[in-house]
């Protein structure tokens, strides 16, 4: 338990870790009193302090209400470093580069599908590759893999896995420019060749649900959401490819830290000055992994559409499974933000955090320019998820960032102990949720109580004004790896 970190209460949703010692900036935690008690159960607050010691960090070391312990940075951490004088840290992006969430909406309503969920979930389990080490349904050639690294989701679209509208409603159009396949190791490329188009394991999932409640009718209408409408959420990332990229560059960065004489409170914060070749190489490789992840979600989207059309005996037009938005939440990007009244170019690390840009921002697709960027916050497989939009206050306070999910409150080992003797599939079915997993281990490790209540997390970011709640989604069918 992390009781030694002293916090100053700013208001009901903000808590500051005062700048002290070698901290270059204060820490700022977004949480309410009840979530703060859970946050103190691990070392996440110490990690917020540690991140505040990074060279070139500006304003704050930030933590969202779903914060929990991670590698180097806490999961739920946000930090921006000066683009010229700062550093980049793979621990501030995470192992699953561009792990993200994609929301689709259909032409169907709850009454049209509720009684068919067993068949729907069985079909999705068969149609979407899932599980530890799972392989996609295609095998990439070396040339095609490198095109994926450069083109991202567009590669998938050009090979028949979706439409241009999907790209328009994907963050960054589904592609980060400036990727560099030459900066990717052969081991990473080998891991990536067979996994494109697969969901993976752990907390990744594909979920069929419905709009249970609408909080802002006007914005929901722009997003194409209405009460009882059937939705699909896809949550996954760059699989073993992104993991290997991170692992490779953590070793590289450790050597840079020694060479440059960078003092760090935790070796897991290994980093490199943005001016160095090593930093540029990592950025190029990270962008390859981000693009791979977008192509991955795009292909899964195609197979979900294909599967639902077949099992429900519907035409593409009748199913109407269209993109609402796709956001990434493990990434570092160069962005311009106001710091102390001046515009500065920054390298913004978001690890387990979602971009939340406000209405009017130039990077938003035209369809959402007047309401703000959609923010997709999944919960656990038994309760609910939320759709929000970004705000001006997020731009002012958090570099346009917000939470990314519920956040674990129970280790996988503890979740397994808590599940002993229980039939998780039956428990969830009794609650109206049909679930499947590749094995019992995944389901017991992912029990709903292993996660914080995502409603509490969302209420904090809404209360703090860094996101606006639009709708709540309720799961009725989930597949897990």
What is the DSSP secondary-structure string of 86-133? -EE-GGGT-SSTT-EEEEEEEEEEHHHHGGGHHHHHHHHHHHS--STT
Q: Is residue 2 part of a domain?
A: no
Share of the chain above pLDDT 90, in %: 93
pLDDT one-digit tens code per residue, 60-80: 999 999 999 999 999 999 999
Tokens of 392: 């001006």
- C-alpha 300 chain-centroid distance: 16
* pLDDT recorded at residue 15: 98
**Length of the chain measured in residues:** 481
Q: How far apart are CA 281 and CA 184, in angstroms?
A: 8
Q: Is the pLDDT of residue 2 over 70?
A: no
Q: What value does the mean pLDDT of the chain take?
A: 96
Q: How many domains does the chain have?
A: 1
* pLDDT recorded at residue 23: 98
Q: Is residue 216 part of a domain?
A: yes
Provide the total of helices (H) and of strands (E) in the chain, helices listed first. 17, 19
Mean pLDDT of 235-240: 96
* pLDDT recorded at residue 6: 92
Q: How far apart are CA 409 and CA 68, in angstroms?
A: 8
Contact predicate 393/338, CB 8 Å = no
Mean pLDDT of 264-286: 98
SS3 283: helix
pLDDT one-digit tens code per residue, 103-162: 999 999 999 999 999 999 999 999 998 877 777 788 899 999 999 999 999 999 999 999
Dihedral Cα 456, 460, 466, 469, nearest 10 deg = 40
Please choose, from the candidates 240, 129, 203, the residue with its C-alpha nearest in 3D space to the C-alpha of residue 445. Answer: 203
Contact predicate 202/75, CB 8 Å = no
Tokens of 239: 């699989």
Tokens of 481: 């790896």
Q: Is residue 324 part of a domain?
A: yes
Mean pLDDT of 444-466: 95
* pLDDT recorded at residue 391: 98
Catalytic residue among 235, 302, 337, 404: 404
Burial tier of 347 (Cβ tally within 10 Å: 0-12, 13-18, 19+):
buried
SS3 356: coil
Please choose, from the candidates 98, 99, 103, the residue with its C-alpha nearest in 3D space to the C-alpha of residue 325. Answer: 103
Q: How far apart are CA 29 and CA 34, in angstroms?
A: 13
SS3 458: helix
Spell out the alpha helix ranges (H) of 162-207.
164-168, 186-193
pLDDT one-digit tens code per residue, 167-188: 999 999 999 999 999 999 999 9
Tokens of 329: 């939440």
Print the domain residue range for 112: 8-480
Q: Is residue 1 part of a domain?
A: no
Per DSSP, 227 falls in state T
Determine whether 302 is an active site residue.
no
Q: Is the pLDDT of residue 458 over 80?
A: yes
Q: How far apart are CA 182 and CA 190, in angstroms?
A: 14
Residues contacting 150, CB < 8 A, separation 6+: 175, 179, 181, 288, 291
User: What Rg value do the Cα atoms of the chain yield, rounded?
Assistant: 21
pTM here is 0.97
Pairing, β 57-68 against β 27-30: parallel
Q: Is residue 368 part of a domain?
A: yes
Number of alpha carbons in the 13 Å side-chain half-sphere of residue 62: 28
Q: Is the pLDDT of residue 201 over 90?
A: no
Residue 202 maps to which CATH number? 3.90.1860.10
Q: Is residue 234 part of a domain?
A: yes
Q: Is residue 85 part of a domain?
A: yes
Mean pLDDT of 330-336: 98
Q: Is residue 3 part of a domain?
A: no
């Amino acid at each position: 338990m992390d009781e030694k970190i002293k916090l100053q209460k700013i208001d009901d949703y903000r808590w500051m870790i005062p700048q002290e010692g070698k901290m270059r900036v204060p820490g700022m935690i977004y949480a309410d009193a009840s979530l703060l008690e859970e946050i103190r159960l691990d070392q996440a607050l110490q990690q917020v302090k540690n991140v505040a010691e990074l060279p070139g960090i500006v304003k704050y070391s930030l933590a969202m209400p779903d914060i929990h312990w991670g590698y180097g940075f806490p999961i739920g951490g946000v930090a921006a470093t000066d683009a010229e004088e700062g550093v980049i840290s793979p621990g501030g992006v995470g192992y699953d580069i561009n792990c993200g969430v994609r929301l689709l909406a259909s032409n169907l309503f709850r009454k049209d599908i509720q009684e068919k969920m067993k068949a729907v979930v069985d079909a999705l389990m068969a149609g979407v590759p899932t599980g530890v080490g799972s392989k996609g349904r295609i095998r990439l050639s070396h040339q095609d893999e490198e095109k994926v690294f450069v083109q991202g989701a567009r590669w998938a679209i050009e090979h028949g896995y979706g439409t241009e509208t999907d790209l328009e409603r994907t963050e960054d159009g589904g592609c980060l420019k400036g990727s560099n396949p030459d900066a990717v190791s052969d081991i990473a490329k080998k891991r990536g060749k067979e996994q494109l188009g697969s969901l993976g394991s752990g907390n990744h999932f594909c979920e069929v649900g419905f709009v249970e409640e609408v909080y802002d009718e006007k914005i929901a209408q722009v997003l194409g959401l209405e009460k009882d409408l059937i939705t699909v959420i896809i949550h996954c990332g760059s699989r073993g490819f992104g993991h290997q990229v991170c692992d490779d560059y953590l070793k590289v960065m450790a050597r840079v830290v020694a060479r440059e004489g960078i003092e760090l409170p935790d070796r897991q914060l290994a980093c490199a000055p943005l001016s160095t070749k090593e930093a540029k190489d990592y950025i190029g490789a990270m962008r390859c992994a981000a693009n791979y992840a977008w192509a991955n979600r795009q292909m899964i989207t195609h197979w979900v559409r294909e599967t639902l059309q077949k099992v429900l005996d519907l035409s593409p037009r009748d199913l109407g499974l269209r993109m609402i938005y796709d956001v990434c939440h493990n990434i570092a990007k160069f962005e311009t933000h106001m710091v102390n009244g001046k515009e500065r170019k920054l390298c913004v690390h978001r690890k387990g955090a979602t971009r939340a840009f406000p209405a009017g921002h130039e990077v938003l697709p035209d369809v959402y320019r007047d309401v703000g960027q959609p923010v997709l916050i999944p919960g656990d497989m038994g309760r609910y998820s939320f759709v929000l939009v970004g705000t001006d206050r997020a731009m002012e306070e958090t570099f346009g960032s917000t939470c990314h999910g519920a956040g674990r409150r129970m280790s996988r080992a503890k979740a397994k102990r808590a599940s002993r003797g229980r039939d998780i599939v039956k428990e969830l079915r009794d609650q109206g949720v049909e679930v499947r997993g590749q094995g019992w281990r995944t389901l017991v490790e992912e029990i709903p109580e292993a996660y914080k209540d995502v409603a509490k997390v969302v209420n904090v970011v809404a209360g703090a004004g860094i996101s606006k709640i639009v709708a709540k989604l309720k799961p009725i069918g989930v597949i897990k790896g």
